[in-house]
Amino acid sequence: MNNHFTELLNYWHPLRDEHLWVLATVYKTVGPCYRRAGAMMLFNDLGQQFGLLSGGCLEADIQRQAARVMQTKQALTVSYDGGDEDDIAFQLGIGCGGTVHIVLQPILPELHYLHLNEVHEQLSNGGKGLYSQLIATDGTVQTAWEVSQCSAQKPSPELIEKDNQTWLLTYLSPPPHLLVIGAGVDAQPVVQMAKTLGWTVTLWDSRPANGRREYFMSADQILRQPLNELIEHKSAAHWNAAVVMSHNLQMDAHAIKALQGSAIEYLALLGPASRKQQVLALAELNEQELRIPLAGPAGLNLGAELPEGIALSILAECHAVLQGAAAQSLSGVLAVVAENP
């Protein structure tokens, strides 16, 4: 089970009336913390936990607080200060040293299940929306869900004041949907790693010998229709990224050309720069005029040679693009390595 909120809801939804449940949400952080505002996890009366709000340090105590919420049926706000020697967070040895503020809300039928039924349905169908949670100190529970769209750059959660009340607004979207063109042996780790990340994966290959289900058990769907019909598939509207790796020049060219008409944000082509030029020439495309930029060679420079390492480098670059991140070393250690090869 991965930690994406969609996956947590997939587990909760069929069991929502069989147990008592609590939604715990980080609504504010100060200083370095493991998770940021908008992070959510679920607790039930069996003592089960789904998701993470810290590196595993706080969850046991949050479970204890969640049990109180199940009994009182009222919301509760708690804070953990990793820099205060008298705080339980410090005593538990949390390494980040920041302060995390969490709201716990009971998930009850009379509270419309915190609108998580609607959230689950929308995210399961590839939709997006704005989830609002009242941050109250008097036990009041109130949430709202509004289906909406936004730009490719996902808005950050924010605290707002409205009518003398504090609300956390969190934009929720389904996990990324990756399309993999080509189902050779080296596509297997791409599919497997993407699924480990919690992504949805569609695999396409029209060649009978490729894309056998026994080799791609984790793929959500395997498609085989002609490439010129691929963009018309019902799942195409939800694709966020595509990796083209069929090892066939003409097939790759057709795929690159077809995907220029899609809404994906990341398009990668396996192989060296010279091969990319061959593919673009066959597709009759000018690289400077591409509507969707083509990452080729695909991936970050990790020094990878084996399929697993190459898959890691491609998905790392893809992840960074989808998150709007720079994909740089957080510590600067790579700069030191470059200076002292």
- Are 262 and 234 within 8 A, CB to CB? no
73 vs 92, more confident: 73
Structure tokens at 103: 């709201």
Q: What is the pLDDT of residue 153?
A: 58
Q: What is the pLDDT of residue 113?
A: 98
Structure confidence by residue, pLDDT tens digits, 258-297: 999 999 999 999 999 999 999 999 999 999 999 999 999 9
Structure confidence by residue, pLDDT tens digits, 20-37: 999 999 999 998 888 899
Q: What's the distance, CA 275 to chain centroid?
A: 31
Q: What are the percentages of helix, strand and coil residues in the chain, rounded to 5?
A: 35, 25, 45
Q: What is the pLDDT of residue 89?
A: 47
Between 102-106, 182-186, 330-334, 336-340, the lowest mean confidence (pLDDT) is in: 336-340
Per the prediction, the chain carries an average pLDDT of 91
Structure confidence by residue, pLDDT tens digits, 156-199: 899 999 999 999 999 999 999 999 999 999 999 999 999 999 99
Q: What's the distance, CA 24 to chain centroid?
A: 18
Q: Looking at this protein, which amino acid is placed at residue 165?
A: Q
Among candidates 72, 79, 80, which has minimal Cα distance to 140? Answer: 72
- Are 201 and 194 within 8 A, CB to CB? yes
- Domains recognised in the chain with CATH numbers: 5-172 (no CATH), 177-323 (3.40.50.720)
pLDDT band at 81 (very low <50, low <70, confident <90, very high): confident
pTM above 0.75, yes or no: yes
Question: DSSP labels for 80-117?
Answer: EETT-TTSHHHHTT-SS--EEEEEEEEE-GGGGGGGHH
Residue with tokens 């956390």: 168
Structure tokens at 293: 């930029």
